Protein backbone atom coordinates (compact mmCIF):
# COMPACT_ATOMS: atom_id res chain seq x y z
CA UNK A 1 0.00 0.00 0.00
CA UNK A 2 2.76 2.38 1.01
CA UNK A 3 4.78 1.46 -2.05
CA UNK A 4 1.80 2.22 -4.28
CA UNK A 5 1.32 5.57 -2.59
CA UNK A 6 5.00 6.40 -2.95
CA UNK A 7 4.99 5.39 -6.60
CA UNK A 8 1.88 7.55 -7.18
CA UNK A 9 3.49 10.53 -5.47
CA UNK A 10 6.68 10.10 -7.47
CA UNK A 11 4.64 9.83 -10.65
CA UNK A 12 2.79 13.06 -9.87
CA UNK A 13 6.07 14.77 -9.01
CA UNK A 14 7.57 13.49 -12.25
CA UNK A 15 4.66 14.84 -14.28
CA UNK A 16 4.97 18.24 -12.61
CA UNK A 17 8.71 18.37 -13.23
CA UNK A 18 8.11 17.47 -16.88
CA UNK A 19 5.67 20.36 -17.22
CA UNK A 20 8.14 22.82 -15.76
CA UNK A 21 10.18 24.32 -18.53
CA UNK A 22 13.85 24.88 -17.84
CA UNK A 23 14.27 28.59 -18.35
CA UNK A 24 17.74 29.20 -19.82
CA UNK A 25 20.20 31.46 -17.97
CA UNK A 26 20.42 33.58 -21.13
CA UNK A 27 16.85 34.64 -20.50
CA UNK A 28 17.57 35.95 -17.03
CA UNK A 29 20.60 37.85 -18.33
CA UNK A 30 18.22 39.89 -20.49
CA UNK A 31 16.96 41.56 -17.33
CA UNK A 32 19.99 43.86 -17.29
CA UNK A 33 19.16 45.12 -20.81
CA UNK A 34 15.43 45.50 -20.25
CA UNK A 35 13.76 48.69 -19.13
CA UNK A 36 10.93 46.78 -17.51
CA UNK A 37 11.13 43.31 -16.05
CA UNK A 38 8.44 41.04 -14.64
CA UNK A 39 9.68 37.89 -12.98
CA UNK A 40 7.43 35.42 -11.21
CA UNK A 41 8.73 32.24 -9.63
CA UNK A 42 5.99 30.43 -7.80
CA UNK A 43 6.83 26.84 -6.97
CA UNK A 44 4.52 24.34 -5.26
CA UNK A 45 5.13 25.75 -1.77
CA UNK A 46 4.47 29.36 -2.75
CA UNK A 47 1.44 28.33 -4.79
CA UNK A 48 0.05 26.64 -1.71
CA UNK A 49 0.73 29.73 0.34
CA UNK A 50 -0.83 32.04 -2.25
CA UNK A 51 -3.93 29.85 -2.39
CA UNK A 52 -4.15 29.72 1.38
CA UNK A 53 -4.37 33.48 1.63
CA UNK A 54 -7.04 33.86 -1.04
CA UNK A 55 -10.54 34.40 0.21
CA UNK A 56 -13.04 32.21 -1.58
CA UNK A 57 -15.80 34.54 -0.40
CA UNK A 58 -14.36 37.51 -2.27
CA UNK A 59 -15.67 37.47 -5.81
CA UNK A 60 -12.36 38.65 -7.32
CA UNK A 61 -10.38 35.96 -5.53
CA UNK A 62 -12.76 33.00 -5.62
CA UNK A 63 -12.13 32.03 -9.25
CA UNK A 64 -8.39 32.66 -8.98
CA UNK A 65 -8.26 30.46 -5.88
CA UNK A 66 -10.14 27.72 -7.70
CA UNK A 67 -7.76 27.77 -10.65
CA UNK A 68 -4.64 28.30 -8.53
CA UNK A 69 -5.47 25.30 -6.35
CA UNK A 70 -5.02 23.11 -9.45
CA UNK A 71 -1.60 24.56 -10.21
CA UNK A 72 1.77 23.50 -8.89
CA UNK A 73 3.80 26.36 -10.30
CA UNK A 74 3.69 29.58 -12.28
CA UNK A 75 6.83 31.00 -13.85
CA UNK A 76 6.93 34.24 -15.80
CA UNK A 77 9.72 36.13 -17.53
CA UNK A 78 8.61 39.30 -19.25
CA UNK A 79 11.06 41.88 -20.58
CA UNK A 80 10.34 45.19 -22.23
CA UNK A 81 13.31 46.71 -24.07
CA UNK A 82 14.25 50.23 -25.13
CA UNK A 83 15.25 49.31 -28.63
CA UNK A 84 14.82 46.59 -31.21
CA UNK A 85 17.56 43.99 -31.22
CA UNK A 86 18.21 43.95 -27.50
CA UNK A 87 17.42 40.26 -27.61
CA UNK A 88 17.60 37.59 -30.28
CA UNK A 89 15.84 34.31 -30.97
CA UNK A 90 18.90 32.55 -29.60
CA UNK A 91 17.95 33.79 -26.14
CA UNK A 92 14.81 31.63 -26.10
CA UNK A 93 15.91 28.92 -28.55
CA UNK A 94 16.52 26.54 -25.67
CA UNK A 95 12.89 26.84 -24.60
CA UNK A 96 11.61 26.07 -28.08
CA UNK A 97 13.98 23.13 -28.20
CA UNK A 98 12.32 21.70 -25.07
CA UNK A 99 8.93 22.10 -26.73
CA UNK A 100 9.98 19.57 -29.38
CA UNK A 101 9.47 16.85 -26.77
CA UNK A 102 6.47 14.62 -27.65
CA UNK A 103 4.88 15.58 -24.33
CA UNK A 104 4.30 19.09 -25.58
CA UNK A 105 1.88 20.06 -28.34
CA UNK A 106 2.01 23.33 -30.18
CA UNK A 107 -1.62 24.44 -30.25
CA UNK A 108 -1.09 27.94 -31.62
CA UNK A 109 1.79 29.35 -33.57
CA UNK A 110 1.66 32.73 -35.23
CA UNK A 111 4.70 34.18 -36.87
CA UNK A 112 5.10 37.37 -38.82
CA UNK A 113 8.27 39.15 -39.86
CA UNK A 114 8.37 40.98 -36.54
CA UNK A 115 6.49 38.83 -34.07
CA UNK A 116 6.28 35.31 -32.85
CA UNK A 117 3.50 33.93 -30.68
CA UNK A 118 3.34 30.32 -29.63
CA UNK A 119 1.22 28.39 -27.16
CA UNK A 120 2.10 24.88 -26.13
CA UNK A 121 0.08 22.47 -23.99
CA UNK A 122 1.62 19.63 -22.05
CA UNK A 123 -0.13 16.27 -22.31
CA UNK A 124 -0.76 16.37 -18.56
CA UNK A 125 -2.18 19.88 -18.55
CA UNK A 126 0.74 22.29 -18.27
CA UNK A 127 1.03 25.27 -20.58
CA UNK A 128 3.71 27.48 -22.09
CA UNK A 129 3.14 30.84 -23.74
CA UNK A 130 5.96 32.36 -25.73
CA UNK A 131 5.53 35.84 -27.15
CA UNK A 132 8.34 37.64 -28.90
CA UNK A 133 7.74 41.14 -30.18
CA UNK A 134 10.34 43.64 -31.42
CA UNK A 135 10.70 45.28 -28.01
CA UNK A 136 9.11 42.69 -25.75
CA UNK A 137 9.77 39.11 -24.86
CA UNK A 138 7.45 37.10 -22.60
CA UNK A 139 7.54 33.51 -21.43
CA UNK A 140 4.76 32.13 -19.21
CA UNK A 141 4.96 28.58 -17.91
CA UNK A 142 1.98 27.15 -16.04
CA UNK A 143 2.61 23.88 -14.20
CA UNK A 144 -0.44 21.89 -13.17
CA UNK A 145 -3.72 20.80 -14.56
CA UNK A 146 -5.21 23.84 -16.26
CA UNK A 147 -8.12 23.46 -18.66
CA UNK A 148 -9.85 25.75 -21.15
CA UNK A 149 -12.69 26.08 -18.62
CA UNK A 150 -10.22 27.26 -15.99
CA UNK A 151 -8.85 29.86 -18.37
CA UNK A 152 -12.41 30.91 -19.16
CA UNK A 153 -12.96 31.46 -15.47
CA UNK A 154 -10.16 34.01 -15.46
CA UNK A 155 -11.52 35.89 -18.42
CA UNK A 156 -13.34 38.59 -16.50
CA UNK A 157 -10.57 39.54 -14.15
CA UNK A 158 -7.45 39.14 -16.23
CA UNK A 159 -8.74 39.52 -19.74
CA UNK A 160 -7.99 35.92 -20.64
CA UNK A 161 -9.91 35.13 -23.83
CA UNK A 162 -12.85 32.91 -23.04
CA UNK A 163 -12.40 30.26 -25.69
CA UNK A 164 -15.10 28.10 -24.14
CA UNK A 165 -18.04 30.45 -24.39
CA UNK A 166 -16.84 32.50 -27.36
CA UNK A 167 -19.21 32.62 -30.29
CA UNK A 168 -17.97 32.88 -33.80
CA UNK A 169 -18.27 36.39 -35.22
CA UNK A 170 -20.81 36.93 -37.94
CA UNK A 171 -19.85 36.71 -41.58
CA UNK A 172 -19.13 40.40 -41.92
CA UNK A 173 -16.73 40.59 -39.02
CA UNK A 174 -13.61 39.29 -40.80
CA UNK A 175 -14.06 41.82 -43.59
CA UNK A 176 -14.04 44.57 -40.99
CA UNK A 177 -10.89 43.15 -39.41
CA UNK A 178 -9.21 43.05 -42.79
CA UNK A 179 -10.06 46.70 -43.30
CA UNK A 180 -8.52 47.48 -39.96
CA UNK A 181 -5.42 45.55 -40.83
CA UNK A 182 -5.05 47.53 -44.01
CA UNK B 1 30.13 13.72 103.79
CA UNK B 2 32.46 16.47 103.05
CA UNK B 3 31.56 19.70 101.31
CA UNK B 4 32.56 18.55 97.88
CA UNK B 5 30.32 15.51 98.01
CA UNK B 6 27.42 17.62 99.15
CA UNK B 7 27.88 20.02 96.23
CA UNK B 8 28.05 17.13 93.77
CA UNK B 9 24.95 15.56 95.22
CA UNK B 10 23.09 18.86 94.95
CA UNK B 11 24.18 19.34 91.37
CA UNK B 12 23.12 15.87 90.28
CA UNK B 13 19.85 15.98 92.13
CA UNK B 14 16.89 15.12 89.86
CA UNK B 15 14.55 18.03 89.46
CA UNK B 16 11.17 17.99 87.66
CA UNK B 17 11.04 19.94 84.34
CA UNK B 18 9.31 23.29 84.50
CA UNK B 19 5.68 23.27 83.47
CA UNK B 20 6.26 25.30 80.31
CA UNK B 21 8.93 22.89 78.99
CA UNK B 22 6.67 20.11 77.64
CA UNK B 23 4.43 22.65 75.88
CA UNK B 24 7.45 24.37 74.28
CA UNK B 25 8.89 21.07 73.06
CA UNK B 26 5.59 19.96 71.55
CA UNK B 27 5.11 23.34 69.90
CA UNK B 28 8.56 23.06 68.33
CA UNK B 29 7.87 19.48 67.18
CA UNK B 30 4.57 20.51 65.59
CA UNK B 31 6.21 23.48 63.87
CA UNK B 32 8.91 21.25 62.45
CA UNK B 33 6.36 18.68 61.28
CA UNK B 34 4.31 21.37 59.50
CA UNK B 35 7.41 22.78 57.81
CA UNK B 36 8.25 19.35 56.40
CA UNK B 37 4.67 18.79 55.18
CA UNK B 38 4.58 21.98 53.08
CA UNK B 39 4.34 21.19 49.32
CA UNK B 40 7.47 21.82 47.26
CA UNK B 41 5.79 24.45 45.14
CA UNK B 42 4.13 26.54 47.70
CA UNK B 43 4.84 30.17 48.31
CA UNK B 44 7.79 31.55 46.39
CA UNK B 45 8.47 28.27 44.63
CA UNK B 46 4.96 28.27 43.24
CA UNK B 47 5.31 31.87 42.14
CA UNK B 48 8.52 31.01 40.36
CA UNK B 49 6.84 28.15 38.51
CA UNK B 50 3.90 30.33 37.55
CA UNK B 51 6.24 33.07 36.36
CA UNK B 52 8.37 30.62 34.39
CA UNK B 53 5.26 29.10 32.78
CA UNK B 54 3.98 32.53 31.82
CA UNK B 55 7.32 33.42 30.26
CA UNK B 56 7.33 30.12 28.38
CA UNK B 57 3.80 30.68 27.10
CA UNK B 58 4.73 34.25 26.10
CA UNK B 59 7.85 33.10 24.26
CA UNK B 60 6.08 30.24 22.44
CA UNK B 61 3.14 32.52 21.63
CA UNK B 62 5.48 35.24 20.38
CA UNK B 63 7.40 32.85 18.18
CA UNK B 64 4.15 31.44 16.81
CA UNK B 65 2.78 34.92 16.18
CA UNK B 66 5.95 35.95 14.35
CA UNK B 67 5.85 32.76 12.25
CA UNK B 68 2.22 33.43 11.35
CA UNK B 69 3.02 37.05 10.49
CA UNK B 70 5.90 36.04 8.23
CA UNK B 71 3.78 33.37 6.57
CA UNK B 72 1.03 35.93 6.00
CA UNK B 73 3.52 38.36 4.43
CA UNK B 74 4.91 35.62 2.17
CA UNK B 75 1.39 34.49 1.31
CA UNK B 76 0.29 38.01 0.39
CA UNK B 77 3.43 38.44 -1.70
CA UNK B 78 2.83 35.11 -3.45
CA UNK B 79 -0.78 36.13 -4.07
CA UNK B 80 0.29 39.41 -5.66
CA UNK B 81 2.85 37.59 -7.81
CA UNK B 82 0.21 35.12 -8.92
CA UNK B 83 -2.16 37.95 -9.83
CA UNK B 84 0.66 39.62 -11.80
CA UNK B 85 1.40 36.32 -13.57
CA UNK B 86 -2.25 35.89 -14.51
CA UNK B 87 -2.34 39.49 -15.76
CA UNK B 88 0.64 38.82 -18.05
CA UNK B 89 -0.86 35.50 -19.16
CA UNK B 90 -4.21 37.13 -19.89
CA UNK B 91 -2.62 39.96 -21.84
CA UNK B 92 -0.49 37.61 -23.94
CA UNK B 93 -3.36 35.20 -24.64
CA UNK B 94 -5.49 38.14 -25.73
CA UNK B 95 -2.76 39.39 -28.04
CA UNK B 96 -2.34 35.93 -29.54
CA UNK B 97 -6.08 35.66 -29.96
CA UNK B 98 -6.26 39.01 -31.71
CA UNK B 99 -3.60 37.86 -34.15
CA UNK B 100 -4.84 34.35 -34.72
CA UNK B 101 -8.65 34.62 -34.69
CA UNK B 102 -8.98 36.64 -37.92
CA UNK B 103 -6.81 34.07 -39.68
CA UNK B 104 -8.91 31.18 -38.32
CA UNK B 105 -12.20 32.81 -39.27
CA UNK B 106 -10.90 33.60 -42.73
CA UNK B 107 -9.92 29.96 -43.09
CA UNK B 108 -13.33 28.73 -41.94
CA UNK B 109 -15.09 30.76 -44.57
If interface means Cβ-Cβ distance under 8 Å, which residues of chain B face chain A?
71-72, 74-76, 78-79, 81-97, 99-100, 102-103, 105-106, 108-109
CB-based contact A119:A108 (threshold 8 Å): yes
Chain A, nearest residue to B92 by Cα: A131
Are the beta carbons of A50 and B79 separated by less than 8 Å? yes
Residue B3 domain flag: no
User: In which domain, by residue range, is A137 found?
Assistant: 19-146
pLDDT digits (tens, 9 = 90+) for B4-27: 888 888 888 888 888 899 899 999
Q: Is residue A168 part of a domain?
A: no
Q: Which of A42, A159, A174 sits opposite B94 (nearest CB)?
A: A159
Is the residue at B72 inside a domain? yes
Nearest to A117 among B78, B88, B99 (CB): B99
> A10: distance to nearest CA of chain B, Å?
26
Write down the ipTM of this complex: 0.77
CB-neighbour burial class of residue A44 (10 A; exposed 0-12, middle 13-18, buried 19+): middle
CB contact under 8 A, A50 and B99: no
DSSP structural state of residue B16: P
Cα–Cα distance for residue pair A119/B36, rounded to 1 Å: 84
Domain count, chain B: 1
* Closest CA of chain A from B90, distance in Å: 4
> Residue A168 has what pLDDT?
45
**Residues B52-77 pLDDT 10s:** 999 999 999 999 999 999 999 999 99
Looking at the structure of chain A, the number of domains it has is 1
Q: Between β-strands A71-80 and A36-42, what pairing exists: parallel, antiparallel or unpaired?
A: antiparallel
**Is residue A158 within 8 angstroms of chain B, CB to CB?**
yes
Mind listing the pLDDT tens digit of every residue in chain A (182 residues)?
Answer: 666 655 565 555 555 667 788 998 888 889 999 999 999 999 999 999 999 989 888 887 888 898 899 999 999 999 999 999 899 999 999 999 999 999 999 998 988 888 999 999 998 889 999 999 999 999 999 999 888 778 877 777 777 776 544 544 444 444 444 444 43
Q: How far is CA A111 from CA A34, A107, A114, A181, B96, in A?
A: 23, 13, 8, 16, 10
Q: Under 8 Å CB-to-CB from B90, ≥6 apart: which residues?
A: A154, A155, A157, A158, A159, A160
Q: Is A159 left (phi over 0), alpha (psi -120 to 50) or beta?
A: left
The answer to the question of residue A165 being in a domain is no
Contact criterion met (CB < 8 Å) for B94 and A110: no
Share of chain B above pLDDT 70, in %: 93
Residue A106: inside a domain, yes or no? Answer: yes
d(CA A43, nearest CA chain B) in Å: 10
Subunit contact B90:A171, Cβ cutoff 8 A: no
The answer to the question of residue A98 being in a domain is yes
3-state secondary structure of A147: coil
Count of C-beta atoms within a 10 Å radius of residue A115:
15
Identify which of B71, B84, B88 has the shortest CB distance to residue A138.
Answer: B88
Closest CA to B92 of A147, A149, A75, A158: A158
Domain that holds residue B33: 18-108
Please check whether residue A113 lies inside any domain of the structure: yes
Amino acid sequence: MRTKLLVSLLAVAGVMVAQQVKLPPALDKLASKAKEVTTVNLGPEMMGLATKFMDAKKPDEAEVKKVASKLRGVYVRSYEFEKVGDYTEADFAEIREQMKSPEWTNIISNRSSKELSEIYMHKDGGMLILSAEPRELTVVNIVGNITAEDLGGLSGQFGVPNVVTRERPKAKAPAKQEEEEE
Amino acid sequence: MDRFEQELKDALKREPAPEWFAGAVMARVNAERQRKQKPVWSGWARMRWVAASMVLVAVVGGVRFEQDRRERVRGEQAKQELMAAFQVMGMKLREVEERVLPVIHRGEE
